[in-house]
Amino acid sequence: MALPNIQPERYEQLLADKVAGVKAQFVDFTLPDIEVFDSPKTHYRLRAEFRVWHDGDDLYYVMFEPGDNRNPVRLDECEMVSPRIREVMFELLDLIRENPALRFKLFQVDFLSTLSGELLVSMLYHRPIDETWAEEVQVLRRQFNIDIVGRSRGKKLIVERDFVIEKLTINDRVFEYKQVENSFTQPNGEVCKKMIGWALDVTQNSEGDLVEFYCGNGNFTLPLAQNFRRVVATEISKTSVRAAEYNIEVNGIQNLDVLRMPSEDLTLVLQGKKETRKVAGLALETCQFSTVLVDPPRSGLDDETVQQVCAYDHIVYISCNPDTLLENLHTITKTHKIERFAVFDQFPYTHHLECGVYLTKY
Ligand SMILES: C[S@@+](CC[C@H](N)C(=O)[O-])C[C@H]1O[C@@H](n2cnc3c(N)ncnc32)[C@H](O)[C@@H]1O
């Protein structure tokens, strides 16, 4: 992870600069007024990874300047991470420093926290870990009320859980999400709530069904199910699909099915070019998909998936990479009009910006 230069006093200006950059980048398109969703100025990141530096008897966290992996910067404060991570991270290292069984060949500590106040800490080692380590680590668990995962080559030890439970209030309703260590979750919880709220807003009064590609643990899917008759969503990661299934159950959502399948395969199934037992019993032929939601990785949508999303009347495109969004929009806007365009400042003080685009077929 690179170290952002946190400047709360310049936050508004930096965000305005980013928005101006997006306007310039998308100048080829007729954009509606851009909706801008800001971030808390400090303590906004719910997950963070830190390298651990050993220097004689000393032990400290380091980060690197963007583009410079050679010169570590010692961290004695961190304004970027959530209050829960901040509360624990330095005191945790103080205890590790004094305990040879915990500090020996520890090279990285990852934190996954929630707005609901839970915290999972992953400790990564360049040596085997065993039950002795699992005993020793209990002192950290008790002191900070955290869950801990130890990782060494080919081995994962879990003390007591490898997940956290997030609770997000979206339009007065609380949604509960299982978020599992080492699987994708949105890093900025407050901004994530705004993204879900925006997606709910653009799809309100929708008719028909929703198909979603790249659904993760159901982050958007669970709340959006209320705007549709049926929802079918797909995701490639087994861990995320299992979490989504748990989340569907615990939130009592009845009209949503999640498939573990690459989006490329679901595209082929929907086009009638592929058959698979995975969709047996879903009666996909009875679905009336009016809307598609995509939230792809940075690489954006492949050509086949672009063709597939263009088959629907409405498209909600959430993007973490304006470059690939731009490329995909060149094709999508041949058939669809951009109705809404939003930017979400998931990553303050960096050049990254999350975008949301809502399009309707001409
Ligand atoms: C940017 S994340 C979005 C996840 C989710 N929408 C959320 O808000 O948390 C992209 C997701 O796409 C999944 N993914 C990556 N390649 C995929 C593919 N070819 N087919 C389906 N899912 C894929 C990843 O596992 C990841 O969960």
pLDDT band, very low/low/confident/very high, at 1 (cuts 50, 70, 90): low
User: Is there a binding annotation on residue 186?
Assistant: yes
> Helix 322-332 and helix 11-25: axis angle, to 10°?
30
pLDDT band, very low/low/confident/very high, at 225 (cuts 50, 70, 90): very high
Ordered alpha helix ranges (H), the chain: 11-25, 83-97, 100-103, 131-136, 138-144, 189-202, 221-224, 238-250, 263-270, 303-309, 322-332
Which is more confident, 68 or 188?
188
**Mean pLDDT on 261-266:** 94
Tokens 């965000």 -> residue? 15
196 CB within 6 A, ligand 1: no
Q: Which residue's C-alpha comes closest to atom 12 of ligand 1?
A: 214
> What is the CA(65)–ligand 1 centre distance, in A?
27
Give whole-number Cα distances, 162 to 122, 138, 147, in Å.
9, 15, 7
Contacts of 101 (CB under 8 A, 6+ apart): 132, 133, 136
**What is the tens place of the pLDDT at every residue in 269-323?**
999 999 999 999 899 999 999 999 999 999 999 999 999 999 999 999 999 999 9
263 CB within 6 A, ligand 1: yes
The mean pLDDT value of the chain amounts to 96
Of 168, 235, 265, best ligand 1 pocket probe by most atoms within 8 Å of the beta carbon: 235
Domains of the chain: 8-41+188-361 (3.40.50.150), 47-164 (2.40.50.1070)
pTM of the predicted structure, to 2 decimals: 0.96
**Mean pLDDT on 217-245:** 98
